[in-house]
Structures are given as C-alpha cells and as structure tokens.
Amino acid sequence: MSQELIVHNSVSRKKEAFKPLEEGYVGLYVCGPTVYSDVHLGNCRTFVSFDVIYRYLLHLGYRVRYVRNITDVGHLTGDSDDGEDKMSKRAKLEKLEPMEVAHKYTNGFHDMMRIFNTHSPSIEPRATGHIPEQIEMVQAILDNGYAYESNGSVYFDTLKFAKEKGTYGDLSGRKIEELMAESRDNLKNQDEKRHPADFAIWMKAAPEHLMRWNSPWSVGFPGWHLECSAMSTKYLGEQFDIHGGGNDLKFPHHENEVAQNLGSCNCAGARYWLHTNMLLMNGKKMSKSDGNTITPTQLFTGESVHISKGFSPMVIRFFMLQSHYRSTLDLTDEALQAAEKGYKRLLEGNKALMALNGASGSGDSALDKEINELIDGAFAEMNDDFNTPKALARLFELVSKINSLKGGQLSMKEVSAATLERLQETFRIFIFDILGLLDEETTAGGNNQALDKAMELILDIRQEARTNKDWGTSDKIRDALKAAGIAVKDGKDGASWSVE
Ligand code: AMP
Ligand code: ZN
C-alpha cells in the first residue's frame, strides 16, 4: 500500500496521487452551513469527515489554510416555494432581524462543532461580509459574455457557456440537454431566463425580501452558488487544492461554482473535489416529514424513539469514523451501542499501552515485526483516501496485542523498547490528533485543561474540609458535582473524579 497520499477526486471519479500546487501548503475549502436553523446530524457528519481530513493533512506536515464559509444570505426555500427566503421566513417566524437569526444559529453551529471536538477552520468567511466580491464576480462574468441581465436579475448563460467551454456537467456527470433547472431559484422567474438550466447569480429582491444590497443591476442579493466561488477565490486563489462538501451539493451548487469560476477568470478553482456521503437513519434518508430524524441533542440525552439510551459526543464521533467518508453512514441503535463498546475498548487499550513497561526485546521477534507492520498499515490506510474504518481495524488488532501483553499471554521480552515507544506515540497521535477523539473519562466537552485545574482545586478544598472533619461541606461538594455529572470517588490515595 502506498505511503503517498491518494485522494478520490470527484472530477475524474478516480483515486489520484495528491500533489498540492505549492509544495508543503494546502488550500482547503469546505461548504459550510446555512444558518437559518439548528445544524443537523447530517451536516455534523460532513464537518467531522473534513475535520479528520484537515487533521491528517496537518499530521503529514502540510501548512493548511482551511476555509469554511457561513451561508448567512437567505436563499430561496426550495423548488416548490413562492420565492420567500429561508432567512426572512425564519426571521418573521421568530420576530427577529435576519442577522439575529444568522447569529443565533452560527453560535449553535460553533457550539456543536466544539462538542464534536472539531478544529476551527483558519478562516470562516460569511456570505454577507463578501457582497462587493460577489458583485465583482457577477460583473466579470457579464463582461466575459457568460451572463445576461433580465429585469434587474443576472443569470448565468449555461447554454452558451457549455457550448463554448464544453465543460459544464463534468463534476456531476449531467448533460446539459437533460438539465431541467434544479437550482434553488428555479421555479421562480423562469420567464426571465433564456434556458431553464440558467441560474441566478444576482437576484432582484422582492419587496418582502429582508436581506438586500445595492448593485449595478438592482437592489437585491447574490445567487447561492456565487458566495463559494467568490470566497474561495479571495482566500485561496484562482486555483487551489481541495474543495469539499456533501455529495448532495455536487449539483447544482458545485457544478455552478466551477462554471462561475471559469466564466469569470477562466480558472477552474479547485483541482481536487472531495465529496462526503449522506447520513441515513435505519437505512432511510433522514427526513423531518416522515419522522425519521433525530437531533444531536436528542442523541446525547436519549430522548428519542429511535434510540434506547443517550450516547456521548465522542461515541458519536467514533461511530462516524467507523465508516469511510464516501460511504453512506447508517445511524441505528445497534450501531451506536457497538460504537460505544469500540470507543471504550480503544481508549482502555490506550491506557493499558501507556502502562506497559519492561520492553526488552532485540527488535527481531515476529511480534515486534507484526506490531511495526500494523502501525505502518494504519498510516497506509489513512494515505489511501483517509480510510478511517480500515485504520481503526489496524488499531484494534494492535489493541488485541496490547491486551495480551498486559495479560501476560504475550511477553514484553518480545518487544523492543523502540517499538513500544513507537506504538505509544502512534496511539497518542492517532486517537487524539488524527481521529480527534477525547478521553471522556477525564475530559468534558474538550475543555480538559481548564476542567482538570478546576477539579484539582475543588478536590483540594474538599480534602481540607475532610481533614477538618467538616463532613457537611465535603458531602455538599460531592453531591453538587454529581448533579453536574461528575462522580467523585474516595480511595486510599485521595479522591479521584470522572465524567459520568
Ligand atoms: P447545508 O447547511 O444544507 O448547506 O449543508 C451543510 C453541509 O452539510 C453541506 O456540505 C451538505 O452537503 C452537508 N449535508 C447536508 N445533509 C447531509 C446529510 N444528510 N449527510 C451528510 N452531509 C450532509
Ligand atoms: Zn458552497
């Protein structure tokens, strides 16, 4: 298996060797959330997948500029709607300013990303903060003849573009003749378009539309696809390395992004397109209308008919890592229970590994070789298009060895000190740095250092109370911590604590 990084490129539909434009640097753009409602689990699956990809690129030593946008310009609610925009609709419903809606759900999104222990991107640009850049791009596309103005709106001339460039549809594999416009703006204003496959890059705002900006064409707002073209170009350049998103965005969003980039600057933007697959529940698409849905919070608390109990954020993260990002992920109660066992087994294996000592092998035993091969194998699986389930399988083979070494069925005399050190280093790097898991026994919500320090202080105060035979204070502290989900255990070496 290859030691160089291979990624699956949606454009070629093949795995390709990853070669960044500039040695040592990677530009990564991922389509972020639309912030008009709470982030759902499907979104979390995609963002956790790209978090692991980002982490692995960092592990390989790349300097990565990771850009993930916030879609806070309202966009039309769907094919069958009357043209009311999501943000305006929600704002009216909740009696809020559109920006208040965006702010509220952006905060909620950030909280959820923290709970799942994802790294923040390097830049998180908002669509509303980049209206001038988007207007410039519309102008450039108009100047190049690939767009036309109609009644204050500007449409991308898909047919002309496809004829002249011969590339429209490469990413999604769609043919222009087959295209009935499936873009989010499609049923409205069909009469303004020259062809149903044309899509709006600037839309004149209807009177009820709350988010609106001045432009050379009308008071209006940019088309949805435009923000990602404009912001990826601004922060990563006219050509950059990787563009990601869920595969539901391949068409029309990503296809139209490519067309806009080519139409404005004759550059295709990203060289590698990576797409994550969808999250399902009980084998079916998650859908609010038929009740086949669960929120992250319901998953944590267990308050849902679909699950028998609550599952912690790290168990859910582990569950997500157990399938490859390009496979569908089917959420079931049994799969979550299995993930809980797997997560615990991995972390207990890690603890047992850190306590192993007495390695005195010469390095040429079969066991020593096997351990090194399994370590190489785990990294090779990550190099093969970030294959986390297969890398985890290798780590579990190593956990079996670790448990046998701990139990005495295998001897530490067969393991060299260098191999033990390499194994310990590998587990630390894999579990915490690459897979981004936290040890929930000793951490809460990723805020581990602060919590450790605070708990140390609280247990010191409690110890002082106990020394003074102030049992009331001691019990009060223990009970209050218990109510907060932290268990305190008194042992002969003092008190210890764990998150329940
Ligand atoms: P949205 O907020 O709908 O624009 O989606 C934000 C990101 O989540 C996009 O990259 C989507 O492709 C992705 N996404 C949406 N639904 C799902 C799902 N069910 N499973 C996985 N990813 C999804
Ligand atoms: Zn996008």
Question: pLDDT tens digit string along 309-355?
Answer: 999 999 999 999 999 999 999 999 999 999 999 999 999 999 999 99
Pocket of ligand 1 (CB under 6 A): 31, 33-34, 42-43, 45-46, 245-246, 248-249, 276, 278-279, 286
**At residue 393, does pLDDT exceed 60?**
yes
- pTM summary value: 0.86
Instruction: State the ligand closest to the CA atom of 275.
Output: 1
Q: How confident is the model at residue 188 (pLDDT cuts 50, 70, 90)?
A: low
**Interval 6-35 mean pLDDT:** 97
Average predicted confidence (pLDDT) for the chain: 91
- Find the 146 Cα to ligand 2 centroid distance in Å: 20
Strand 279-281 and strand 329-331: pairing?
parallel
Where residue 82 falls among pLDDT bands split at 50, 70, 90? very low
Q: Whose alpha carbon is nearest atom 9 of ligand 1?
A: 246
**Neighbouring-strand partners of residue 243:** 29, 273
Ligand 2 is an ion; residues with CB less than 5 A from it: 31, 228
Round to whole Å and give the CA distance between 154 and 145. Answer: 12
Query: Separation of 213 CA from ligand 1 center, angstroms?
Result: 27
Give the burial string for 399-429 (b: 16+ CB within 10 Å, else e).
bebbbebbeeebebebbbeebbeebeebbee
Which pLDDT belongs to residue 485? 81
The rounded percent of the chain whose pLDDT value lies above 70 is: 93
Between CA 12 and CA 36 the distance in angstroms is: 34
Q: Kindly state the average pLDDT of the residues 438-454.
A: 70
131/154 Cα distance (integer angstroms) = 15
260 C-alpha to center of ligand 2: Å? Answer: 12
> Of the bound ligands, which one is closest to the alpha carbon of residue 50?
1
